[in-house]
Amino acid sequence: MYVADSRANDPTASVEGTARPAPAGRYRATIAPTVLALGTVSLITDVSSEMVTAVLPLYLVTGLGLSPLGFGLLDGVYNGFSAVVRLVGGHLADRGGGRHKWVAGAGYALSALCKPLLLVAHTLTPIGLVLAADRTGKGVRTAPRDALISLSSTPETRGRAFGVHRAMDTAGALLGPLAAFLILRATVDGYDAVFTVSFCVAVLGVLVLALFVPSGRTGTPGPTPGNGPGTGTPEPLPGGRRVTGTSGPMADIGRGTGASGPVPGGGRGAGTPEPLPGGGGGAGAVGARPTVRAAVGLLGLRDLRRITVCALLLGLATVSDSFVYLLLQRRLGVPDRWFPLLPLGTAAAFLLLAVPLGRLADRWGRWRVFLAGHAALLLAYTLLLTSWHGTALPYAVLALHGTFYAATDGVLMAVASDRVPQELRSSGLALVQTGQAGARFVCSLAFGAAWTLWGDRTALLASTGALAVCAAYALTLRPSREAAV
């Protein structure tokens, strides 16, 4: 028996490791075993991927002599190519009868297999193809993994669950650059050694996923206190009905009656599920296989559409991490051998703040924390534009950079999860992630081109102005309801 299957014998726990429902009126603060297992997988995988990410800018710009435009193209592929396949990964997970684990596992395995290919790729085209395949793996796995976290948590603790996962993920991001730095100092063929060790660590992550993350159909967290409007309940669909899981007080959607009487607009016959926007079957239809039309039709939900548009606009003005580190290196004259340590500052701040900001998002409001994170990023860009060259500059910029990620990465998924029905959870999250990743791909290309044509300062100034405008506009697109405190 696999360790991951042991919880299936407990009739009071879901097959996905969801914690037992808390008695009414009590706050359930426990983190589901599924979240901890996925956090461990992400920690190990991030050690592997961040080893490569830490040395890649220097390897491409200094080692292979790429221009900022060429690097921007590859960086755009690395950070944005996953947008092409995120919807595919989310849809496959939803249609697979709850097989989120195995779709995610395929993505992790594909990324692992790409690491040794970097040993034989030395020109722009093959490196671009390897990075595209690696990001395909990331795109396939991200939405199913986040759906598992969401479905294993209650609305009241969802921000904290994502915060715990992102904190564990960031612990790996902290260790990866440190490992790359030590390998570069200890070996002759430093880059090849980094890529080889990275592959071995990635394989370990896939094994942990296979052995310790539960599989099977996703369970629905039990009823929780305050499970009503404004408490993370998905937005009403056209006709006044809500789409949630198939159990709990709102389970009888599509039957013409709600938990306390007739549902407004419930003109369909009894037992007829309400179609999702775009014509998909209602989420209340037990056993229904989600369709691509229903997944894309989720954009008919006003709140989810607003969240997706905000993620896209803000992504258009979010400069790639690699460019931030290159800007810091140029401003401060950081020697090449110390360059892999720059991501440690971002990762350390992310690690320290992910859980506290996740809990703050649950209490104060997730959208507020999300926008506050972009304010921190705006301040980091402003510091890079000033003439200040003090020794505290890199610490301040990297701390603000890490704060941005801690306040936005998991919090955005928690915000979106509140507005997506369970049966289409992976697809709904993939819509948001696709918009964000596609926008960041465009931003990398535009920033690299601007750097090549007008210089790094002008490129950063344009991005800073764009971020300020997009953040101001995002205030007007705030979702209509926040999760409950």
Distance CA 413, CA 426 (A): 11
Could you report the per-residue pLDDT of 340-378, keeping only the tens digit for each?
888 889 989 988 998 899 889 888 888 999 999 999 999
Name which of 81-85, 163-167, 226-230, 326-330 the model is least confident about.
226-230
Report the 10 Å Cβ neighbour count for 469: 12
pLDDT the model gives residue 96: 63
For residues 448-464, give the mean pLDDT: 93
pTM of the model: 0.65
- Residue pair 58/342 in contact (Cβ under 8 Å)? The answer is no
pLDDT at 187: 82
Residue 262: enclosing H or E segment and its boundaries?
Answer: strand 261-262
Residue pointed to by tokens 């080893």: 51
- Quote the CA–CA distance of 292 and 305 in Å, as a whole number: 17
In sequence order, what are the residues at sequence separation of 6 or more whose Cβ sits closer than 8 angstroms to the Cβ of residue 158? 150, 232, 362, 414, 417, 418, 483
CA distances to 25, 98, 157, 273, 414 from 360, rounded to whole Å, are 20, 30, 11, 37, 12
Give the whole-angstrom CA distance, residue 305 versus residue 479: 9
Amino acid 478: pLDDT: 75
- Reply yes or no on whether the pLDDT at 304 is more than 60: yes
pLDDT surpasses 90 at 82: no
Counting residues of the chain whose pLDDT is more than 90, the rounded percentage is 32
CA–CA dist 340, 57 (Å, integer): 9
Q: Report the C-alpha gap between 469 and 457 in whole angstroms.
A: 19
* Averaged pLDDT of the chain: 77
CB 19 within 8 A of CB 151: no
Q: What average pLDDT does the segment 425-430 reach?
A: 82
Q: H or E segment at 162? A: helix 158-186
Residues 6 or more apart whose Cβ sits within 8 Å of residue 275: 281, 282
**Contact by Cβ (8 Å): 427, 87:** yes
Confidence label for 80 from pLDDT (cuts 50, 70 and 90): low
- Any idea which of 36-45, 88-97, 119-128, 266-275 has the lowest mean pLDDT? 266-275
Q: At what angle do helices 425-454 and 83-95 cross, to 10 degrees?
A: 170
- Comparing CA positions, the residue from 341, 328, 317, 304 lying closest to residue 431 is 304
Amino acid found at 67: S
Residues facing 262 on adjacent strands: 257
Instruction: Considering only CA atoms, give the Rg of the chain.
Output: 22
Indicate if the pLDDT at residue 70 is higher than 60: yes
Q: Using a CB cutoff of 8 Å and minimum separation of 24, what contacts does 193-196 make?
A: 194/51, 194/52, 194/55, 195/52, 195/115, 195/116, 195/118, 195/119, 196/115, 196/116, 196/119
- 135-193: pLDDT as tens digits: 889 888 988 898 899 888 888 888 889 989 988 988 898 899 999 999 988 887 788 89
pLDDT value of residue 238: 41
